[in-house]
Chain A
Amino acid sequence: MSQPLSNPFNASETSIRQLIANGKTKPALESAKEVHKMHGTRASEELLIDAYTARIQALNEQNLKLEAKSLLDLVRSRFPSAQARIEALTSPARGLEILVAPLADPDLPAERRAAIEQRLEREGGDLAELAGCAALPADHPLRQAAAALLKAFVAVTTGPVGEDELALPEVSRRSPLAPWKLLVRAIGHFYRKEDSRARECLDAIPAGSAPARLIPSLRAMLGDPLSAPLAPAAARLVSLTTGDSLPLRHALEKLDHALESDADDKQVLQAAKAAVRECGLHAPYRLERLKQHISVRCAMADIDQDRVIATIGGLRQEAYFYRLFARGMELTHDPEDLTMACGLWEEFRQQAVKEGWFSFNGAEAATLYLHIASILGRLPDGLLDELHQSIRAKKRQAGELPYFLFPQMLYERACTLDPHFEAFAQWMEWAKGQKGGEAAQVAETWHAIRPDDIDPILYLMGDASDRNLFPTALKYLARAERIDGVHPAVRRARLQLLAGSAVKYIQQKKPHLAEERLAEMAGLPQSQQGDRPAFLAALRYLASTLRGDVQTTAAHRAETERLLGTKVGAALLIFGVATAAKRGAFESLEPPGKLDKSERAALPAAVARVVALAADMNAMKLQIPWSYIAETARQLPRNSQSLDTSQLQYLAQAGVCSTHAELGYAATAAGLERGGPTGARFLLLRAKLLPEGHEDRRAVCAAAAAELGRQQRDMQLLEEAVELTRGRFGPQALTLTLEQAAEVLRKEKAAKRLPKYPGQGPSYRNLLPRMCPCPTCRAQRGELVEDPYDEFEDDEFEDGFDVEGLDELEFEDMVDEFPLPPGVPAEFARVLFEETKKGALRGESLDDLQARLFGFLMGGGKGRKGRRK
């Protein structure tokens, strides 16, 4: 088709068309004018008209409409015969043809191709035109891609499509039509409710591309916030697709805002009424859901339900509603609401069964019962008992009791419907907190229904052991060994139970039976580990003492002393075991003051070993005389270097158990001094043994221990520590950052002396949450709140007393004017005022204030009964 370039016209034409294709329409037009002037042929006129057309299009694209129109008029007047052609050339379809025509040339320079493709991506808004574009061959990839996209576009907007139809392999990722592929997929995902995938596609569409014009509409359909109002066509599309309408959106947003901003009831109800009206008009299929949500949101905001229901024009109380309502009441964390949630879950259960959500006797119903029971477990201590008393006081028959407020009944129902491990484990966990052998009964039931579960057997074994029923405990142990012989608790239990049994026989003066048990113990490989042989020797000593065999008795005592390497240690161990066997008379310890210096120095190590043995032999309750504990506390600071951290932990634990704070504190001081990962454990022990008046410090130490335990993945430590922090500052446990925990550790390490009075020791004010003293907040923290003024005459505080509002000068004046009793120094009064002010700000009662300030001097005497906070 192309003519030889030797022809000057041909050469000029090629050059001009190249300029047009490159978008340089102005020089192209200038050249075309020159060529036409020179040649004056039909061909040169056609070339000139093409150049004019390209120029007119370029001006249009630059939004120079007036210039374009003037030029068009000029061409029409100069070339009237070519008018039809000019109209055709300036039509959009022809524009597209002109734009893409160079792409048919396989030798088109890459730069030029990229420029055209960029324009196509930006301006190619009509797939049908591109698919039928005559300027490209029918099998051109661009036409094929456009045809495939058009087909897919029609399909996704017309009805459901499968994943295959969204694959579009005809459109490569580098194609200028790739944004269309993303758009088609976004629409497809939108209709399939795969919203996150739809958003991913929208995010990937280039902002300047032609398909990006649909992004705001699709975002609106997905419920995403928009930065500006939609254009009319887009708003129409959204409305047609989703039923969204601006009045409805505004009404809903207003209602959301009213609820979130705690607007007064009237405003909320007005907004609710408007939202319901708009929803009925524009999205009636969502009206019932909206009403249900409004009702629950209003209930959570304490708005009268009757008024709400009247305002929204009735409400369908179906399973969905009860589920939402129950969950809403759960989330308020208010005890009354929690109780209400249990009743609502029961309503949900009944309604859901009616509506066919699940059967009344399946695993789903059982799971619901467990969930209700867990809610009851969140009620404050004592409240459930009060509730039960109040229900029973109404003399209801057992069948009439609202079972959903009785954990026992809930667990029974759950385990009957779906007797699985977790259900019984939850029941067991609850029962352990109950009195009267409830846990043993649950374990019996569990064991009867699921005989292969080891947990109830271990519990029953431990329970029997606690009650000194060792033959029974050993029977349970045999069952447990058959199920899981390598379970750590099972492996430890035999030695402990045999030891407990031997002690009991010694108590019953049956030395032969005790010796049988001791022989069994000796046969166990684990009895040879650590200090256990010394423990065995101590028991043998007691058995032979019972028998009256002097020689053997002396030998066993010598063996105990040899194994422990200390006389005082052996004496303490024998004393402890003898006391446990109620044979204290067999061993009399001399007062620690009579021990020689080296024996006294060895006391901390000896006590640590005996305490460790007591912990090891779980069945034992070994005692150490108080005088020895006190002496150990005295010796510890001087002799702590010879102890390892594990022994220090045992001593701290002994301090906690014996409430001997000096011993515990000295042990934690030595333990913290060692540094390393055991610091968290020592912090927790210190938290446990800090005396009254140091509750804040206790909570901070426990919170620091929890954070350090979390870092060390020590779940047991974490659990214990969190439990200790809970309740002090509201329902949530106090938490610290790792840096704060490290700071606490550093301060506690430096605090080597047990505090003697409140306020002594490190200050953690900066780590404590600010606790609001108002009655509402105090009640939310579970504190007893009564009218603080009910003991005073009304006129006593007629003018009010704002301690927080006092400035320094006022405060000084008040202290100076206060009539002090004779002999009381002014500085004392100042401290007293300061502390009273702090107490008042914290919401502290007079009793608490008195106990805090004078408790350590006055022996912590309690105020008269009935004194109100």
Chain B
Amino acid sequence: MDAREVLGIPLNAGEEEIRAAYVQKVKEHPPDRSPEQFEKIRDAYETLRDPRRRMRDMLLSADPEASLTSLVLGEANQRRFTGPQPWLDVLKKGGGPLP
């Protein structure tokens, strides 16, 4: 997974922002409670804390052949909080066929 995605930071995040995101993520996923997630966070931080590795990652992670559907509707999509009601409506009325 993309290191910036793991830490939840934008492409142009500087060192301070990266550090702050790392600290926040470690608080959320301490190594004793979620060791796998912590490892991912640590690896991402190791990649991004070094300016050379950070730059290489930035250069090579661009995916010009990415599917446009997933670009707009997929992972990078905006995620708006709606409150519980629309979710409960689906639970009551059904969400369609199971995948």
Contacts and interface: CB of A to CB of B under 8 A. Distances in A.
A385 B96 CA distance: 63
B73 A293 contact: no
A327 B58 CA distance: 11
Q: Which 4 A-B pairs have the closest CB atoms?
A: A223-B74, A328-B64, A367-B55, A231-B96
Contacts of A125: 91-92
A579 interface: no
Contacts of A226: 96, 99
Nearest to A195: B75
B55 A363 contact: yes
Interface string A349-362: 00010011110001
A229 interface: yes
Contacts of B97: 216, 227-228
A253 B69 contact: yes
A233 B78 CA distance: 20
B8 A193 contact: yes
Nearest to B5: A193
Given A192-B8, A248-B73, A300-B64, A241 B51 contact: no
A252 interface: yes
Interface string A183-211: 00001001111111100000000010011
A148 interface: no
A289 interface: yes
Given A231-B96, A240-B86, A325-B64, A357 B59 contact: no
A297 B91 CA distance: 40
Given A327-B62, A367-B55, A211 B91 contact: yes
A825 to B, nearest CB: 57
Interface of B: 1, 5, 8, 11-12, 27-29, 33-34, 37, 51-52, 54-56, 58-60, 62-84, 86-87, 89-99
Contacts of B56: 367, 371
A163 B89 contact: no
B44 to A, nearest CB: 12
A212 B54 contact: no
Contacts of A279: 72
A296 B54 CA distance: 23
Interface residues of A, number: 92
B7 to A, nearest CB: 10
A249 B55 contact: no
Contacts of A159: 81
Nearest to A244: B73
Contacts, number: 213
A283 B5 CA distance: 21
B52 A363 contact: yes
B64 A296 contact: yes
A234 B90 contact: yes
B95 A217 contact: yes
B85 to A, nearest CB: 9
10 contacts: A197-B37, A211-B91, A233-B86, A241-B86, A244-B73, A252-B69, A293-B64, A327-B63, A363-B52, A418-B52
Given A241-B82, A363-B52, A213 B69 contact: no
**Interface SS of chain A:** helix
Contact of A154 (B34, B69, B71, B84): B84
Interface in A620-677: none
A327 B75 contact: no
Interface string A281-316: 001011001100110110010000000000000000
A729 B93 CA distance: 60
B37 to A, nearest CB: 7
Given A293-B64, A296-B64, A323 B52 contact: no
Contact of A324 (B5, B52, B64, B83): B64
Contact of A233 (B8, B11, B89): B89
Contacts of A345: 59
A285 B95 CA distance: 27
A159 B82 CA distance: 9
Nearest to A159: B81
A217 B90 contact: yes
Contacts of B99: 215-216, 219, 224, 226-227
Nearest to A154: B84
A299 to B, nearest CB: 9
B96 to A, nearest CB: 4
A303 to B, nearest CB: 14
B64 A364 contact: no
A192 B74 CA distance: 14
B62 A157 contact: no
A364 B78 contact: no
A483 to B, nearest CB: 24
A212 B99 CA distance: 10
A372 to B, nearest CB: 10
A406 interface: no
A283 B95 contact: no
A733 interface: no
Nearest to A220: B73
Interface in A339-381: 345, 352, 355-358, 362-364, 366-368, 371
B79 A256 contact: no
